[in-house]
Structure 1
Amino acid sequence: MSSSMRIENICPVLGVADIARSLAFYVDCLGFEDAAWGDGQFTYVTRDGGGIYLSTLGHGHPEMWVWVGVEDARAIHDHLVSCGIAIRRGLENKPWALEFHVEDPDGHVLWIGSDPDDGAA
């Protein structure tokens, strides 16, 4: 395949009811940065080279699931719990990942995981 057909990135677009509420979750709790060009209807949040579009314009479907691969799922889990974020499914050590689920304010599920843990979750 030619280099002109290279995929530069793939990002989910999540439909949200309130951009400010979503930014409080993604920026304040998860440490994403909001795009300088974002507005009250459409924006892009990014962290460590990954990103998610947030839209009040009818894009995306309710209750989307997004896999978020991280370096240390346990550390992110513990941080979210300390911030008062409800965990949908607690840490589980699977053969493929140490993972957990958390919902954003619009019911989208972030399925967060890192390499499997040698010990039990």
Structure 2
Amino acid sequence: MSTKGAAAVVVECVIPILSVRSIQASIRYYVDVLGFKVDWGGDSTDMASVSRDDKAIMLCQGDQGQPGTWIWIGVEDIEPLYEHYRVMGVSFRQPPTNRPWAYEMQVEDPDGHVLRFGSEPRTDRPFA
């Protein structure tokens, strides 16, 4: 079997699917608290897509996805995001921390999923 044809197919995106207890509550959290927008779904379905800057996350009330999924989200600068999320009452597993691979923070959503927001490591701070 030849894989030449398959190798020529371009991967257009990779979208995580998060299992949620309530599709409506999760949409409200991702939109109102984290600043995402609804792409589709959620009104009368058990699945929806939310995105920020055209980067999507699917939310599914049902058997797709696993509880406690971790997602890495690269951003330009986490400092203003951290300040905004702090004011919004976001639950942080870890505040901004300088690591060799990134300056990152960990946000936990109401369903226990962890979003690791990170930007380039800080040169003005030591690594944790």
TM > 0.5: yes
Higher Cα radius of gyration: 2
Kindly state the Cα deviation for residue 25 of structure 1 after the two structures are TM-superposed.
1.6
Q: Secondary structure at the match of 1:22?
A: helix
- Flag structure 1 segments of 5+ consecutive residues without an equivalent: none
In the other structure, the counterpart of 1:17 is 21
- Of residues 42, 53, 60 in structure 2, which corresponds to 1:55? 60
Query: Equivalent residue for 2:91?
Result: 86
How far off is 1:18 after superposition? Answer: 0.6
Show the counterpart of 1:41. 46
1:30-59 CA-to-partner distances (Å, cap 9, x unmatched) read 211112344341000011121000001210
Query: For 2:109 and 2:8, how far apart are their aligned partners in 1?
Result: 36
Q: CA RMSD in A?
A: 1.7
Tell me the distance in 1 between the aligned counterparts of 2:15 and 2:40: 17
Secondary structure class of the residue paired with 2:101: coil
Rounded Cα–Cα distance in structure 1 between residues aligned with 2:68 and 2:87: 24
Structure 2, unaligned runs of 5 or more = none
Aligned: 1:68 with 2:61: no
The structure 1 segments of at least 4 consecutive aligned residues displaced by more than 3 Å after TM superposition are 1-4, 36-40
Question: SS of the counterpart of 1:28?
Answer: helix
Query: What is the Cα deviation at residue 4 of structure 1?
Result: 5.1
Q: Given that residues 75 and 119 in structure 2 are in contact (C-alpha distance below 8 angstroms), is that contact kept between their aligned partners in structure 1?
A: yes
Aligned residues: 121
Q: Which of 10, 24, 33 is the matching residue for 1:6? A: 10
TM-score using structure 2 length: 0.86
State the secondary structure of the residue aligned to 1:14. strand
Determine helix, strand or coil for the equivalent of 1:57. coil
